[in-house]
Amino acid sequence: MKSKVLFWVIVYIGILLVGLLSDWHIVGICKYILAIVGIFIASYAFALSSIAGRTLKRYAHQEPKSGFVPDRFTNFGIYSCMRHPMHLGIGLLPLGIALIFGNIAAIMASGWVLAAAFWFVLAIEEPETMALYKDSYIEYMQKVPAFTFSLKCIEKGLYALKQKELSQENSKVEVTGFEARYYDILMNLVTFGWYSKFIKKAIADIALSKDAKVADFGAGTGSNALLMHPYIGKDGEIVGYEIGKEMKEQFLENTKAYKNIILADKSILEPLNEEEKYDFVFISFVLHGFTRENREKIIQNAHKILKKGGAFVILDYNEFNVDKAPFIYRFGIRILECPLAEEFINTDIEEILEKEGFGDFSSKTYKKGHIRLLKAIKV
Ligand SMILES: C[S@@+](CC[C@H](N)C(=O)[O-])C[C@H]1O[C@@H](n2cnc3c(N)ncnc32)[C@H](O)[C@@H]1O
């Protein structure tokens, strides 16, 4: 292992010296274009090596703390689509950096670093791994290429690292800190501005009745309550159930002008005391962040506090095949969201609602069917 590290230290010192000793630089507009290409290549190289390192750390050891050198074969995550992501990353990084600095000698010399990476894999790594894992490695070589530039492979690697137990501890539904303080702004930033228009439309589609009493489960900053307010008028009432410190503060500040928007500092997971009080229970992008067991508790609470004939309105991800969804949805669900979100997408929510005493379902979908406003009536 030490001699392998020494090999790469020598190669990297070599390219560094070439860069430092030469002041032959790219000039003009090309300098900027190549710098952008360099940033892309360097980020790609860094992502490859980092994902590969983290995958090996987690999946290529007999015991979780059995040292630095992997002692177990893995074809998981990024290794399911490329045999040598780490070496591709190490080989490409100097090219990216040389392009960023526009150093012509270093750009040319970085070709040798890539060649060194290929040689290292063919002459050192592959024979060693083959001797160690024999037939299973040969079979793996037949199926998986040594290198690929596919971005889907990076996505696979990231997703595998994100996979965790489907427990409430791994959920992100309790939004706190920076994310909570700037929640509304961040929602619009990550969705490139479509979120505020979309939520307005979805709330209009609930068809809230005048004077209605509405419970908003996981009410967040109060922005949804403000959007619902014009529909219910001054004789209706909106009660926001919220437990997040930063969210509660914003809810109170944002809704202080309205006497009939109230904050209930209560968890929707604890049995609620009210009975048959509300015409609507609204829950927006909250249910997917709970385990199946906790979702049932929330549905039972909604059932208890709704009047007969009242509507439980769930705005959340629809059921769809995440594998076949466009990249932007796969990225959102598998990388940004908590692992429970995909499990929610694969769940038949209507079946659970029916068991808990709801029926007469109606729904509207948005964003090419990936988001759904589901209305379930207490029967
Ligand atoms: C993803 S945010 C959605 C906020 C809001 N519904 C919206 O659509 O903008 C989830 C919210 O649920 C709240 N929450 C999480 N667990 C809760 C619980 N057990 N009881 C009440 N609120 C909860 C969080 O604090 C957070 O404000």
Q: What is the pLDDT of residue 286?
A: 97
Residue 171 belongs to a domain: no
**Parallel/antiparallel/unpaired status of strands 306-317 and 278-284:** parallel
Q: Rounded to whole angstroms, how far apart are CA atoms 162 and 184? A: 25
Q: What CA–CA distances, in Å, run from 290 to 160, 174, 223?
A: 21, 10, 22
| Co-location of 188 and 57 in the same domain | no
Residue 364 belongs to a domain: yes
Among residues 105, 139, 163, the one where a domain terminates is: 163
Q: Rounded to whole angstroms, how far apart are CA atoms 45 and 33? A: 19
Nearest to 341 by CA among 129, 172, 124, 221: 172
Q: What is the 3-state secondary structure (H, E, C) of the chain?
A: CHHHHHHHHHHHHHHHHHHHHCCCECCCHHHHHHHHHHHHHHHHHHHHHHHHHHHHHHHCCCCCCCCCCCCCCCCCHHHHCCCCHHHHHHHHHHHHHHHHHCEHHHHHHHHHHHHHHHHHHHHHHHHHHHHHHHHHHHHHHHHCCCCCCCHHHHHHHHHHHHCCCCCHHHCCCCCCHHHHHCHHHHHHHHCCCHHHHHHHHHHHHHCCCCCCEEEEECCCCCHHHHHHHHHHCCCCEEEEECCCHHHHHHHHHHHCCCCCEEEECCCCCCCCCCCCCEEEEEEECCHHHCCHHHHHHHHHHHHHHEEEEEEEEEEEECCCCHHHCCHHHHHHHHHHCCHHHHHHHCCCHHHHHHHCCEEEEEEEEECCCCEEEEEEEEC
What is the domain range of residue 140?
Answer: 2-163
Among residues 122, 141, 163, the one where a domain terminates is: 163
Cα(222) to ligand 1 centroid in Å equals: 11
User: Cβ(285) to ligand 1 under 6 A?
Assistant: yes
User: Cβ(268) to ligand 1 under 6 A?
Assistant: yes
Pocket test for ligand 1, best of 176, 242, 265, 293 (most atoms within 8 A of CB): 242
| Co-location of 227 and 284 in the same domain | yes
DSSP lists the bridge partners of residue 366 as 371
Cα(285) to ligand 1 centroid in Å equals: 8
Q: What is the pLDDT of residue 132?
A: 85
Residue 272 belongs to a domain: yes
Among residues 163, 194, 216, the one where a domain terminates is: 163
Residue 169 belongs to a domain: no
Q: Using CA positions, which residue lies closest to atom 24 of ligand 1?
A: 174
User: Cβ(269) to ligand 1 under 6 A?
Assistant: yes
| Co-location of 93 and 182 in the same domain | no
> What CATH number did the domain enclosing 144 receive?
1.20.120
Residue 143 belongs to a domain: yes
Q: Please state the pTM of the whole predicted model.
A: 0.74
Q: Using CA positions, which residue lies closest to atom 5 of ligand 1?
A: 220
Ligand 1 nearest-atom number relative to CA 184: 9
Q: What is the pLDDT of residue 63?
A: 66
> What CATH number did the domain enclosing 303 receive?
3.40.50.150
| Co-location of 128 and 204 in the same domain | no
Q: What is the pLDDT of residue 65?
A: 61
User: Cβ(243) to ligand 1 under 6 A?
Assistant: yes
User: Cβ(173) to ligand 1 under 6 A?
Assistant: yes
Q: Using CA positions, which residue lies closest to atom 9 of ligand 1?
A: 220
Cα(287) to ligand 1 centroid in Å equals: 9
User: Cβ(374) to ligand 1 under 6 A?
Assistant: no
Cα(177) to ligand 1 centroid in Å equals: 14
Q: What is the pLDDT of residue 64?
A: 60
User: Cβ(247) to ligand 1 under 6 A?
Assistant: yes
Pocket test for ligand 1, best of 183, 228, 241, 243 (most atoms within 8 A of CB): 243
Residue 335 belongs to a domain: yes
| Co-location of 124 and 209 in the same domain | no
Pocket test for ligand 1, best of 170, 172, 173, 249 (most atoms within 8 A of CB): 173
Q: Rounded to whole angstroms, how far apart are CA atoms 291 and 352? A: 13
Q: What is the pLDDT of residue 67?
A: 63
User: Cβ(220) to ligand 1 under 6 A?
Assistant: yes
| Co-location of 187 and 133 in the same domain | no
Q: Rounded to whole angstroms, how far apart are CA atoms 149 and 315? A: 38
Q: What is the pLDDT of residue 336?
A: 85
Q: Using CA positions, which residue lies closest to atom 20 of ligand 1?
A: 267
- Tell me how many domains the chain contains: 2
| Co-location of 85 and 232 in the same domain | no
Give every CB contact of residue 175 below 8 A, 6+ residues apart in sequence: 183, 220, 244, 246, 247
Cα(121) to ligand 1 centroid in Å equals: 49
Q: Using CA positions, which residue lies closest to atom 16 of ligand 1?
A: 174
Residue 330, number of CB atoms within 10 A of its CB: 17
| Co-location of 158 and 183 in the same domain | no
Q: Rounded to whole angstroms, how far apart are CA atoms 94 and 12? A: 8
Residue 319 belongs to a domain: yes
CA geometry: angle 171, 372, 310, nearest 5 deg: 95
Q: What is the pLDDT of residue 24?
A: 86
Please report, in tens digits, the pLDDT of each residue of the chain (379 residues total).
778 889 899 999 999 999 898 888 888 999 999 999 999 999 999 999 999 999 988 888 776 665 667 778 888 899 999 999 999 999 999 999 999 999 999 999 999 999 999 999 989 889 988 888 888 889 899 999 999 999 889 988 988 887 776 778 778 788 889 999 999 999 999 888 899 999 999 999 999 999 999 999 999 999 999 999 999 999 999 999 999 999 999 999 999 999 999 999 999 999 999 999 999 999 999 999 999 999 999 999 999 999 999 999 999 999 999 989 998 888 888 888 888 999 999 999 999 999 999 999 999 999 999 999 999 999 9
Cα(244) to ligand 1 centroid in Å equals: 7
Distance of CA 173 to the CA centre of its chain: 12
| Co-location of 190 and 153 in the same domain | no
Residue 172 belongs to a domain: no
| Co-location of 155 and 11 in the same domain | yes
| Co-location of 192 and 311 in the same domain | yes
User: Cβ(284) to ligand 1 under 6 A?
Assistant: yes
| Co-location of 10 and 46 in the same domain | yes
